[in-house]
Structure 1
Amino acid sequence: MAPREYGQYDGVTRALELVGERWAMLIVRDLLVGPRRNGELAAGLPRIPSNILASRLKELQAAGVIRRAPRSRIIIYELTPFGRELEPVVLALGAWGFKALGDPRAEQIITPDSMTMSLRTAFRPQVAASLPATAYAAHLGAAELSIRVDGSALDVRRGDGPADLAFAAGPGIHRVISGELAPGRAIETGVVEVLRGPGDLLDRFATTFHLAA
């Protein structure tokens, strides 16, 4: 199926024609974290039908947003420089959508790439620059992330690792990021479980990563 055309001539219309189809922006979101194989994209978007994923990838390639790149006998998908220009758009869209996030439904999950982009969206480099360098190991549902904040620099990678604070949480971590739930209260009520390290470092986490709901 050909991408829809709206019959109007302006930048917003053209942008929606390129990336406005269902799932397209979520594919872009995940590729902003890093190049992905087809199977990795499917795993990060567990509800996307395989035929729709194939269609969106072809459409995004045709639009010059992504490209196929052979890497040692495998094919990966990565953003082109044109596609990477969408990063501030995706971050702004995430901040806007955060205001209407509401409570998580039982079937909603956190993926490593979605949470990585949530952290990038909520990161406050000016605040972090005045705080000591801190490493966090976050177990967020099935996602395990190693988060390092050093001054105004943020590095988020998949997996566990050495950390000043390791904690586990579900989608409710967004209530801490929004300021709706104080870090201490989040620990008391079990929304966040401290695995190792001093629990008061969750206050630093909430100060470093904050988005007003």
Structure 2
Amino acid sequence: MRTMTRSYGDPCGVARGLDVIGERWALLVVRDLLLGPKRFNDLLGGLHGASPNVLTQRLHDLIDLGVVRRRDLGPPARVRLYELTEWGHELEPLLLHLGRWGSQAPSPPQGELGIDSLLLSLKAGFDPARADELSGTYQLGVDGDTYLVRVADSSLQIERRAARQPSATLSTDLDTLRQVIDGRIAIPAAQQSSRLHIDGDEPSVRHLTDLLQP
């Protein structure tokens, strides 16, 4: 692991942590990789205001520091992905708690939650006491991307990948999902307007509905 050129020079763990993730955009890059790997352009699209040069530098820093790694998929895909290392994934509890804490601050006048922020907010607000009643494996399809959603062992797991044999599936667009999660539209109403489709056995559909709209 390389040493940061800009450092607080303080041996405190908080200061040393900020030496690693304290640069602007660094923690938001980590946020957008928590659910799974992303390509450069997908990362850039979720970081409104970050330039390609800034994102390139931030990824370079995070790779050198051991928080992110680069993975190249071979032919025929030839795609370069960025993903968190095991050490990088250890930031998840901190980010979820920071999200809960930050939600009490004034909201900016413009802007909407991206898909990563939206699903992480769902995870941050999950009540472990409801895990038994909502237990199951589900799949969300949002604007062509697929997410595994699993409730088990008093926790909510969300990953950017397909679920194996989900008991219920829901497909929609990002704007509709935002409205569903923040309560602006009920799932049955979204279904009636053909903005959302949900399939599965009745108990699983009910559990998935209750998870998204407690």
Taking structure 2 as the reference length, the TM-score comes to 0.68
Distance 1:7-1:76 versus aligned 2 partners, 3 A rule? same
- Structure 2 segments unaligned to the other structure (5+ residues): none
Residue equivalent to 2:125: 122
Relative distance call for 1:33 and 1:170 in structure 2 (3 A) is closer
Partner residue, 1:12: 14
Judge conservation of contact 2:180–2:212 (CA < 8 Å) in 1. Answer: no
Q: Which amino acid aligns with 1:105?
A: P
Equivalent residues in 2 for 1:77-88, closer than 5 Å:
77-88=82-93
Question: Residues 150 and 117 of structure 1: is their aligned pair in 2 closer, same or farther, counting only changes over 3 Å?
Answer: closer
* Among 111, 114, 125, the residue aligned to 1:111: 114
What amino acid sits opposite 2:84 in the alignment? L
Shift of 1:166: 6.5
Alignment partner, residue 43 of structure 2: 41
Q: Give the Å deviation of 1:150.
A: 4.3
Task: State the shift of 1:21 in Å.
Answer: 0.7
The secondary structure found in structure 2 opposite 1:78 is strand
Q: Secondary structure at the match of 2:112?
A: coil
Q: Secondary structure at the residue paired with 1:21?
A: coil
> Cα offset for 1:7?
3.1
Distance 2:83 2:137 in 1: 30
Unaligned regions of 5+ residues in structure 1, if any?
A: 208-213
* Cα offsets for 1:14-65 (capped at 9, x unmatched): 1111101111001001111111121121122132111110110111112111
| SS state at 2:66 partner | coil
Q: 1:205 aligns with which of 180, 198, 212?
A: 212
1:128–1:149 contact (8 Å) kept in structure 2: no
CA distance in structure 2 between the aligned counterparts of 1:172 and 1:32, rounded to whole angstroms: 23
The 2-side partners of 1:167 and 1:110 are apart by: 16
Instruction: Evaluate the alpha carbon distance shift between residue 26 and residue 132 of structure 1 in structure 2; reply closer, same or farther with a 3 A threshold.
Output: closer
Q: Is the 8 A contact 1:65 1:82 kept in 2?
A: yes
SS at match of 2:81: strand
1:1-213 correspondence to structure 2 within 5 Å: 4-72=6-74, 73-100=78-105, 102=107, 105-106=109-110, 108-131=111-134, 133=136, 135=138, 148-152=149-153, 153-155=156-158, 157=160, 163=168, 169=176, 175-176=182-183, 187=186, 193-194=190-191, 195=196, 202=209, 205-207=212-214
Kept in 1, the 8 Å contact 2:36–2:159? The answer is no
Equivalences, count = 190
Q: Cα distance 1:99–1:60, how it changes in 2: closer, same or farther (>3 A)?
A: same
In the superposition, the TM-score normalised over structure 1's length comes to 0.69
In the alignment, is the contact (CA less than 8 A) between 1:134 and 1:164 conserved in 2?
Answer: no
Q: Which residue of 2 aligns with 1:211?
A: none
